[in-house]
């Protein structure tokens, strides 16, 4: 991963990212006892590379990411980064791949939303906390 990539200002997110970078793998790094992947994306305003550890939602070698922000009324900042710059690097375990994010709608979103809830059940509760539909992206 890039040396000039910025770490999160949020302590627990920065600590998780540093652990992944030190280990060279996402293995053993979890959020609420669930595995994570590490995304590297480009900031919409700054143009700087940023690390974002997210819940691992995978099916048949394809990945999805969920912009839940714990059910907050607004999207996480990384949502806007991804909309502006959809090319990302995903690390799962020691494997690193470059992918493109695409926001889902309709039946495809519903299918991936269920996979996300299966991978991390609190997503269902997060949706009840907000009036916005929580965005789901597939990484291709």
Q: Is the pLDDT of residue 2 over 60?
A: no
10-18 contacts at long range (C-beta below 8 A, 24 or more positions apart): 13/52, 13/53, 16/53, 17/51, 17/53
Distance CA 56, CA 47 (A): 25
Q: Is residue 1 part of a domain?
A: no
pLDDT for 28-60, tens place per residue?
999 888 999 999 999 999 999 999 999 999 999
**Average pLDDT, rounded, for the chain:** 94
Q: Is residue 4 part of a domain?
A: no
Give the residue among 56, 58, 62, 9 at the shortest CA–CA distance from 33: 56
Q: Which two tokens stand for residue 93?
A: 């375990």
**What is the pLDDT, as a whole number, of residue 4?**
76
Q: Is the pLDDT of residue 103 over 50?
A: yes
**What is the pLDDT, as a whole number, of residue 6?**
87
CATH number of the domain to which 130 belongs: 2.30.110.10
**What is the pLDDT, as a whole number, of residue 3?**
58
Provide the domain count of the chain.
1
Q: Is residue 5 part of a domain?
A: no
Q: Is residue 75 part of a domain?
A: yes
Mean pLDDT of the region 123-130:
97
Q: Is residue 24 part of a domain?
A: yes
pLDDT for 4-37, tens place per residue?
788 888 888 899 999 999 999 999 999 888 999 9
Kindly report the pTM of this predicted structure: 0.92
Q: State which residues form the domain around 110.
A: 11-139
Give the residue among 49, 45, 39, 55 at the shortest CA–CA distance from 101: 39
Q: Is residue 120 part of a domain?
A: yes
**What is the pLDDT, as a whole number, of residue 43?**
94
Q: Is residue 126 part of a domain?
A: yes
**What is the pLDDT, as a whole number, of residue 37?**
97
Q: Is residue 57 part of a domain?
A: yes
Mean pLDDT of the region 89-99:
97
């Amino acid at each position: 991963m890039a040396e000039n990539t910025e770490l999160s200002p949020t302590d627990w997110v920065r600590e998780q990212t540093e652990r992944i970078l030190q280990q060279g793998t996402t293995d053993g790094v979890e959020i609420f006892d669930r595995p994570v992947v590490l995304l590297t994306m480009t900031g919409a305003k700054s143009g700087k590379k940023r690390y974002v550890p997210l819940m691992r939602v995978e099916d048949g070698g394809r990945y999805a990411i969920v912009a839940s922000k714990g059910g907050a009324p607004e999207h996480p900042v990384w949502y806007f980064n991804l909309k502006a710059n959809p090319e990302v690097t995903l690390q799962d375990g020691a494997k690193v791949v470059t992918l493109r994010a695409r926001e889902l709608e309709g039946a495809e979103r519903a299918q991936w939303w269920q996979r996300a809830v299966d991978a991390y059940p609190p997503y269902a509760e997060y949706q009840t906390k907000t009036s916005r539909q929580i965005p789901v992206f597939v990484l291709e």
